[in-house]
Each structure stands twice: as C-alpha cells, then as structure tokens.
Chains A and B, each alone.
Chain A
C-alpha cells in the first residue's frame, strides 16, 4: 500500500469517527427523545471553550473532561427544565426555542470571549511512525477514543436496561408510566446525557480546530445531516451516516478542495432531507 494512500485512508477514518462522536449527542437527543436540539453545536462549542479555559490556565488538558462534564451537564439540566420540558410533543416549538438557545449561547460566548479565534495547544504533540507513514499522535488517539466511545455506547444501548427503558418511554410513554417509569426524570437524564456527549466531543476536537463562538453552527448541521442520512435510533445508523457524510467530505476535499467537500455535503444532505428523510435504511 502506498504511504499517501494510507494517510488518506487514515484521514477518512479520522474524519468519520470524530464526526460520529460529535453526532452522538444529537443522536441521543433527537433520535431517542425526538427533540431537534439546534443548540447542539453550541454545546460542542462550550466543550471546546472548556478545553481552552483549562489549557490557557496552564492546567493539564485532561481536566477539561470533568469541567465540560459539569458545565454542559448543568446547562443541559437547566435547559431541559426551562425550555424542553414544556415543549415535548411540540417539535416545531422546540426547534424555535433551541434555535433561540443557540443564539443565546453563541452571543454569550461572543460577549465573554470575543469573536476571535482561540487555539488550544495540542496535548500530544508529534507523530507516530507506523506502516511506513508518520501520522499526528493526537489524531490517532482521537480515532481510538472515538471508536471506544462508539463501541461503549453501542454495547450500553443494546444491553442496558436504561437504554431499553428510554426506548420504552419514547415508544409508549403512557405504558411506561403505568409500569412505574418516571418519564420526566428519564427524559431529563437523556437530554443531559446528550449535552454532555456534545461537550465532550467539543473537548476532543478543540486542539484541532479554531475555537470561536460560531463553530457550533457547522457541527449541528453536519450532525443533523448525518442523522438524516443514517436514520434515527441506532448507533449503527450514526456510523453509516457519519461514514457517508464524513467520507464524502474527506474524499471530495482530498480530490478537489475543502470548499467542494462542504458543498457536496450540503447538496447530498438537502437531497436526503427532501427525498429520503428517514435515511439510507428506510424501506418505504
């Protein structure tokens, strides 16, 4: 295998796995609760700023993980209580309300940190040499962590009873209540899990992208496109969608340039939204 091809292949793998991790938060909230959280990208942004805050103070990068967990978790708790809970089963109002939330978070970040880019120092500099190529170590770690997170979620969702109860609640809330499931608390927990996942995704990508108030917009759209293409309700769907969107982006970017990658993604997503809103695997 030629080294250039191998590097491109790892690039694609990197693109797909990190995208999948960034989608997970939205997949949990939209796929399980049916709530389209447009502010998903802003939770990613908050996570990224957590990483910046930690490293800017000279603290170890890994401290960003508990910080993002707490910040995004608390934010998720408040948002669920104030914004989401009154609007369950009113998907359209949720859309508008979370759209407002995304603006609020973005403007707040703008007010605190300014519009400019911040960069987070790579916690793991240098490259690793293997199979005859050199590849940035942090990216390789990121790929590994992403695969771990995805696998963990896949196993947890398939076998744990919490996952099953969420499925039960979403499928038939009245019956879930009749069997003693406190649906309000479960839904809140699910929402918070989603925002935390988004925040952790933000921490992970922070060293690789410019951290700025508007970064979330791109993530929510990509995440949404991934879900539309892959279909809702399964980790495998997320992977398939991320493979399609991330793969397409990486391949087209590599062949032509980045703008066209993004361009292709937009066109494909619009076609899917329009013609196959329930994803690749939908039958009818």
Chain B
C-alpha cells in the first residue's frame, strides 16, 4: 500500500519538478503505458503474445478523434469517449473469442493473426480517406473541454494510467488473475478443473484491448492528430519491447519499460549512436535471460536489501490474505454418478487405442483399472474427460451423453481427475493451487472477479491440512515441493473439487512406501466422505488389493475381465496377458 501511495504522489508532484518538455513526454508515454499494461496482462499473465496491440490503441484514437470533431470540442464528446474505449475492448474480446475457438492453442498463430490484423487496420486507416483522413491522418482534433495546458493534459493521462493500473491490479489479485497465470503454465489442467480456458484468454485479450483503448481515446485530444501509423506495426513492436524490458509478469513492469525505454529513446536516439540497436539487443537478452525484466530485477534487489519482501511481493504480485472464508457447497448433487462407456472405439491417426470398450463404473466406492502397457488405461480416462474423441459408441454420465462435449463441460458435470505426472501449477503458491480446485464448480464468472475468493477454504481442505501440514504453507510456491508432496497436492486438488466421479491415474507413481501408504489412506478416507465413484489406475496388485472391491482389466483397448481381486488373479486369460501367452 505504501509503495502505491508513494508512486501516486510522485506522479502528482512531477509537474512541480520538471519542465513542460518532460511533462508533455510523460503525458504521452503514460497513454502508451496503459496499452503496455494490457500486453503485460496477456503475455505476462495469460501466456499469449499479442503482436498487433497498436490496432486497439489506434482504433480508439480514431473513434475518439471523430467524436471530438463531430461534437466540435463540446462536453457532449465526453459521453462518446468511454464508449470508444469500450468498443476497442469489445472488439478485442470478440476477435480472441473467435480465434481461440478456432485454433485453441495460444502459440504463434494467435500472435501472427494479431500482427496481420494490425497491418490490415493500418491499410484501412491509410486508404479510407473519407473517414480517417488517409495517409495524413485525422487533423485538427479539438482538445478535451477545459484541458488546455500541458500540465492539465498530463494529469488526465496520469489519472487514466492510475485507473488502468487499478483495474489490472484488481484483476491480478482476483481469482481470474490466478487462473490466467495457471493457464499460461498448463492450460489443459485448467480446463480439467472445469474452466473455459478459451473464454478466460478472450477476457484477458478484451481487457488488453480496453486499456489500450483508454490510452488511445485520450491520445486523440492530447495530440490533436491521429495518423494510420498509430494502428500499425512500429507502435505494436515498440509496445512489446517496452513490456519485455520493463517486465511482463508484473503490474508495474510495462509502465517502467514504457517510461524508461520509450521516453528515453526520444531523448537518446540522437545523442547515443546505435541507441535503438542497443535496445533491440537488450530486448533479446531480456527474452533469453531475464524473463521478468527490469521490474523483476528491481524486486529481487529490493528483497536482498530489505529483509521483508513486502516490496518484492508488491512488484511480483503475490501474497494471500489471512482470515479464511468457508466456500459454499458445490452446486452438484452429492454422491456418485452413473458413468458408462458403451461400445467405444477411439484412436489417434491410424492407431486404434480403444476397441469397442464397454463397461459401467460402480456408482460409489473405489474400483481399479489394471492392464499391461498400451492397454488403453490412460486413454480411457482421456475418453471420460472428453480429451479423446470416440469414433463409435458413447460415454454416458447420469443418463446424458457426454462424448463430444468439451472437457471443461464434462468436468463441470462432476468428473475430477488426477494425472500420473503430478500436474500442479509450479509457479503458483500452494494456496492458489488449492484455490483453483475450490473455485472449480463453485465460483461463477462474476465470482472470479472477487479477490476474497482467494481466502476460501472447505471442511475437506481443513482436514487435509491436518493430515499434510505443508498444504497450509499458503505462500510457498508449488515448484519448491518434492515430487511426493506434489503428488499429494494434486490429489488434494482433485478431492477438493468434490467430484462425483474421481479418476486417479497412478496416484502412487514415484512415491516411497511410506508416502504410498499415506496416499492409500487418503483415498480410503475420502471415498465414503465424497460418496463418489473413485477409479484408480494402478499396477501394484498389493495396492489394488488394499483399495478396490472391483477391478477392471484392460487389454488391447478392450475389457478383458472384471471382478474382485481374487477372481481376477484366478482368471487364466488375465494371467496369460501378464505372463505372456504361448499361443
């Protein structure tokens, strides 16, 4: 809090210290910084890189300029300015929603689409002369009513930037900000907690369009001129450099980068030879070696200087609050679900993985799936969570056909999963890892905007914390945990969603005998409490014996046998599969 007020104070007092030249520069670069903060949200948080962000800045600037000209500088224009910024945000949201639905992943293709869109916008702005003024731009835009001096204009920009920072800071603190970071680390895992990751990413892009729009809207009256260059490549490229150098993962990093690199460049471009070459080289260096940029470096230095890591945490954006709030119960009805696989065949390419597989999972209690390598055990789980498409047959959950549904929709119907390789979010604190599990199925879209959800707990979590005290070490990063602890953390996360069907893929893989026993105990403790069906893939027959009443044996993608452990062990077909058939 102290650093925030200090920063605001510094911004407010700056005009008393420096002259008009710098006031003008800072006023302009505050607006660019607003757009940079939006790139930080996408790239540093949600993990995808927009390469054409200038288009949203530029579109809002054109809209704002047109409105101001149409109203001839009267106060009526003030109604249209927020709408112009909102239009940029909405456009960004719609683009991302459509594109992510089309291509899913958030890698190079999305980035290239944004770059191409920005070039397209430039072409339109450049050629649609009747509206945009063409190559020479929109000239003679009146200033905002009552804002005449550089200083006044500076304060307008400062307030806008503080607003943008307030908005993004709040989002970073809220569950949605945590989910952005989580999906940047492991998007599939977030989807398997029941969140629509494409929508989450679209929201991030929408926010980035909105804040770029806020900058653009104020650019028009501040500069009095909007030219096509504002929508195009150079500003887009510069914004990305500023964000990278300042520090993409932090709230203030992009601002820092914009003010230092951007404002300095206008000053130093002519005095220091090769200044821009140096900046580009530094950008590469940052990408390779310093992913958290200047802000990250400052934060680390500050941590080293002051024993308390308060400032560091402020800059790095972390830290959960103390008092806990009981999460509401899940909206699903409690108890086990009826899950049935009916005659399913599935494969990837020409390789058949499941071959007319049929079985029904017991409605409650623990069952195990065993089978040799390549029998289709994990693929069966992938089928159940909607990640492997069935070529024939159906998966039916409580009478509803779920095959063909998106994974997050199936999960929301009460299917939980734990992966064989512990899939927690290493860069997130333990508390936030657990939080994601608690929000799953309990939080609405609106709830995800409320930072207080990060203090949620549940009776099950409290009991798990008693069994495993490390789960209560809220601020520790999951990356610092041992392999065994990560297995436990992910198991806890899977349990906290209180699913009606819980799929556990080799929960004891890589654990010591003591840790294995602990996991077995937790599963047996949780089964009656959840009342749900728990299905475990396991190889070790001694563990299978300890866990399950029913065992399903898979072989070559189909069900070979089903029964109690004793029945399975006596089955000659099963023995043949394991020992090796001689026929």
Question: Which A residues fall within an 8 A CB radius of B?
Answer: 36, 82-83, 86-87, 91-93, 95-97, 99-101, 103-104, 106-108, 110-111, 217, 221, 224-225, 228, 259, 262-263, 266-267, 269-270, 273-275, 277
User: Which of A91, A110, A275 is B107 in contact with, Cβ under 8 Å?
Assistant: A91
A270 touches B120 (CB 8 A): yes
Closest A residue by C-beta to B289: A86
In the complex, what residues of B have CB within 8 A of residue A275's CB?
102
Contact A263 B123 (CB under 8 A): yes
- A36-B112, A100-B280 given; name 17 further pairs at CB < 8 Å: A36-B108, A87-B288, A91-B107, A92-B47, A100-B244, A104-B281, A104-B283, A106-B280, A108-B274, A221-B119, A228-B109, A266-B116, A274-B113, A275-B102, A277-B102, A277-B103, A277-B109
Chain B, residue nearest A92 (CB)? B107
> Is the pair A97, B284 in contact by a Cβ cutoff of 8 Å?
yes
Interface range on chain B (Cβ under 8 Å from partner): 35 or more
Give the interface of B toward A (CB within 8 A). 47-49, 51, 98-99, 102-103, 107-109, 111-113, 115-117, 119-120, 123, 126-127, 233, 237, 240-241, 244, 273-274, 276-277, 279-281, 283-284, 287-288
Instruction: Name the one of B49, B116, B117, B279 contacting A96, with C-beta atoms under 8 angstroms.
Output: B49
Contacts of B103 in A (CB 8 A): 273-274, 277
Contacts of B237 in A (CB 8 A): 99, 103
Q: A92-B49, A273-B113 are in contact. Are A259 and B287 (CB under 8 A)?
A: no
10 closest pairs, A vs B, by CB? A104-B280, A100-B284, A103-B280, A107-B276, A100-B283, A266-B120, A107-B277, A274-B102, A36-B108, A107-B280
26 contacts between A and B (CB under 8 A): A36-B112, A86-B288, A87-B288, A91-B107, A92-B107, A92-B108, A93-B287, A95-B49, A96-B287, A97-B288, A99-B51, A100-B287, A104-B281, A104-B284, A107-B274, A107-B276, A110-B276, A224-B112, A228-B109, A259-B127, A266-B119, A270-B116, A274-B99, A277-B102, A277-B103, A277-B109
Which residues on the A side are within 8 Å of B117 (C-beta)? 270
List of A residues within 8 angstroms of B233 by Cβ: 217
Min CB distance A99 to B, Å, is 7
Q: Of all chain A residues, which has the CB nearest B238?
A: A103
What residues of chain A lie closer than 8 Å to B283, measured between beta carbons? Answer: 100, 103-104
In the assembled complex, the CB of B190 is this many whole angstroms from the nearest CB of chain A, namely 17
Q: Using A104-B281, A262-B123 as known contacts, say yes or no to A97 and B287 having CB atoms under 8 A apart.
A: yes
CB distance from B349 to the nearest CB of A (A): 10
A96→B98 CA distance, assembly (Å): 23
The number of A-B residue pairs with CB atoms under 8 Å apart is 99
CA distance A273 to B100 in the complex (A): 11
Q: Which residues in B have their C-beta under 8 angstroms from that of A86? A: 288
What is the bound-complex CA distance between A97 and B280, given in angstroms?
A: 10
Chain A residue nearest to B284 in the complex (CB): A100
- Contact call A83/B288, Cβ cutoff below 8 A: yes
Q: Is there contact, CB below 8 Å, between B107 and A111?
A: no
CB-defined contacts of B48 to chain A, threshold 8 Å: 92
A residues in contact with B123, CB < 8 Å = 259, 262-263, 266
User: Which residue of A has the minimal Cβ distance to B49?
Assistant: A96
Nearest Cβ on chain B to A75's Cβ, whole angstroms: 14
Q: Which residue of A lies closest to B117 (CB)?
A: A270
> Which residues of chain B are within 8 angstroms of A96 by Cβ–Cβ distance?
49, 240, 244, 287
Verify B111–A95 contact, CB threshold 8 A.
yes
Residues of A within 8 A of B241 (CB): 100, 103
In the docked arrangement, what's the CA distance between A129 and B79, Å? 66
Which listed residue, B113, B119, B277, touches A111 by the CB 8 Å rule?
A: B277
Residue of A107, A108, A267 with highest tally of chain B CB at under 10 A: A107
Chain B residues with CB under 8 A of A269 = 116
How far apart sit A104 and B571, CA to CA, in the bound complex (Å)? 68
A107–B279 CA distance with the chains assembled, in angstroms: 9
Nearest CB in chain A: distance from B333 CB, A: 38
Please, which residues of chain A bring their CB within 8 A of the CB of B276?
A: 107, 110-111
Shortest distance in angstroms between B289's beta carbon and chain A's nearest beta carbon?
10
Query: Bound complex: CA of A37 vs CA of B103, how far in Å?
Result: 20
Which of B116, B119, B281 sits near A273, CB closer than 8 Å? B116
Q: In the complex the two chains form, what is the Cα distance from A111 to B233 in whole Å?
A: 19
Per the bound structure, the CA–CA distance linking A108 and B113 in Å amounts to: 27
A250 to chain B, nearest CB (A): 18
CA distance A264 to B366 in the complex (A): 59
Report the nearest A residue to B119, measured CB to CB.
A266
Report the separation of the CA atoms of residues A259 and B126 in the bound assembly, to the nearest whole angstrom: 10
Q: CA separation between A277 and B108, bound complex, in Å?
A: 11
Q: Which residues of A contact B47 (CB under 8 A)?
A: 92
Shortest CB-to-CB span from A222 to chain B, Å, is 11
Whether B116 lies near A95 (C-beta < 8 A) is: no
Q: Please give, as numbers and ranges, the residues of chain A lying within 8 Å of B284 by CB-CB distance.
A: 83, 97, 100-101, 104
Quick one: closest A residue to B100, CB to CB? A274
A112 to B115, CA, bound (A): 27
Give the most central of A91, A96, A228, A266: most B CB within 10 Å: A96
Chain A contacts for B281, CB-based, 8 A? 104
> What residues on B are CB-neighbors of A259 within 8 Å?
123, 126-127
User: CA of A228 to CA of B103 in the docked complex: distance in angstroms?
Assistant: 13
Question: How far is A278 from B107 in the complex, measured between Cα atoms in Å?
Answer: 14
**Could you say which residues of chain A place their CB within 8 Å of the CB of B113?**
270, 273-274
CA distance A76 to B583 in the complex (A): 57
Interface centre among A36, A91, A273, A275 (most CB of B within 10 A): A273
Complex CA gap A263/B117 in Å reads 11
CB neighbours (8 Å) of A225 from chain B are: 116
Q: Are B120 and A263 in contact (CB under 8 A)?
A: yes
Which residue of chain B has the shortest Cβ distance to A100 in the bound complex? B284
Whose C-beta in chain B lies nearest to the C-beta of A96? B287
Instruction: Give chain B nearest CB distance to A140 CB in angstroms.
Output: 31
Q: How far is the CA of A269 from the CA of B47 in the complex (A)?
A: 24
Chain A residue contacts of B244, Cβ below 8 A: 96, 100
Cα(A259)–Cα(B135), bound, Å:
13
Most chain B beta carbons < 10 A, residue from A86, A101, A225: A101
